[in-house]
Amino acid sequence: MAWILNILIGVILAVILFLINFYRDPKRIIPEGNSIVSPADGKIINIINTSESSIKISKGLFGKIKTLTGDISANCYVISIFMSPLDVHINRSPIEGTVKSIKHTKGKFFEAYNLEKSLQNEKNEIIIENRKLKVKVIQIAGFLARRIRCYVNKNQKVNKGAKIGMICLGSQATLVLPSGVDLTVSLNEKVKAGSSIIAVLKDSK
């Protein structure tokens, strides 16, 4: 029976260490200037340049969400960041500004009679605006996690790099930017929330 107890203790310790690692909140050095920083830790898995007013964004092999882009600009960059369970899961504001809107949409589990509805992940969309530009951060939860935390309220002022939320377990954050910026990242690049520069305003490098 001693070996069973040792296995149980090992499993409990592994879970504790995982949770400590998952909920860690390291300090970040926030770059100054007209830069737009990453809203999440993880790897950039998709960069889309679109003039569509709304698009579908993939989440993993089966999941997806729908989002407006026309509420940000007529032409947009849509940048998706995959957050593994080992990444820091605190989300941060890409810019200094005011929270103009927050929209939470519940996810939908599999419905055999409606494949389209079966592929909707839970999401939370936060639009932040200042005098120079407007951006959208989309927090996207997985089917298993389905836990999105939002730390800000409508009309709240936030600093660049300020903590705006968290997504539990493996998840994805997507950033929607007006195309009138210069991107500084590429596919498969690793980024850190609040400190990695995603883009800069043109003529402001």
- The helix/strand/coil state of 10 is helix
Taking the chain (205 residues) in runs of 10, the rounded mean pLDDT of each run is 70 66 80 94 94 81 77 95 87 97 80 51 93 94 74 97 87 92 96 96 68
**pTM listed for this prediction:** 0.85
Tell me if residue 38 falls in helix, strand or coil.
coil
DSSP string, 143-202: TTT--EEE---TT-EE-TT-EEEEE-SSEEEEEEEESSEEE---TT-EE-TTTSEEEEET
According to the model, what pLDDT value does residue 56 have?
Answer: 81
| Structure confidence at residue 1 (pLDDT) | 67
Predicted confidence at residue 139, as pLDDT, reads 93
- The whole-number pLDDT of residue 146 equals 58
Active site residues: 171
Please tell me the total count of domains within the chain: 1
CB-based contact 134:69 (threshold 8 Å): no
CATH number, residue 75: 2.70.70.10
Look at residue 26 in the predicted model and tell me its pLDDT.
Answer: 84
Nearest to 94 by CA among 203, 187, 184, 1: 184
Tell me if residue 12 falls in helix, strand or coil.
Answer: helix
Q: Residue 29's domain spans which residues?
A: 2-201
